Structure 1
Amino acid sequence: MAWYTVETTYVDDRAKLEDSRPRHRAYLRALVEEGKVGAAGPWADDSAGFAIYQVADRAELDRLLADDPYTVDGVAAGRTVNEWKLVLGSVGAA
Structure 2
Amino acid sequence: MSTTFAVIYTYTDDTALREATRPAHREYLRGLAEEGSMLIAGAWAPGEAPGGLLILRTEDKAGAQAIVDKDPYTSQGVVANAEIREWVPPLGPVAPAISGQA
Please give the per-residue CA displacement for 1:3-51, whole angstroms capped at 9, x wherever unaligned. Answer: 0001101111110000011100100000000100000010112611111
Cα RMSD of the aligned pairs, angstroms, is 1.2
Please give the per-residue CA displacement for 1:70-91, whole angstroms capped at 9, x wherever unaligned. Answer: 1110110111211001324235
Whether 1:56 and 2:59 are equivalent positions in the alignment is: yes
Aligned to 1:75: 78
TM-score, normalization: structure 2? 0.83
In the TM superposition, structure 1's runs of 4+ consecutive aligned residues that sit over 6 Å from their partners are: none
Query: Retained in 1: the 8 A contact 2:40–2:55?
Result: yes
Query: Retained in 2: the 8 A contact 1:3–1:86?
Result: no
Aligned to 1:2: 3
- Gapped runs of 5+ residues in structure 1? none
Report matched runs for 1:1-94 at 5 Å: 1-45=2-46, 47-88=50-91, 89=94, 90-91=97-98
- Gapped runs of 5+ residues in structure 2? none
Which amino acid in 2 is paired with 1:35?
G
Which amino acid in 2 is paired with 1:64?
I
TM-score, normalization: structure 1? 0.90
Aligned length: 91
Which of structures 1 and 2 has the bigger CA Rg? 2
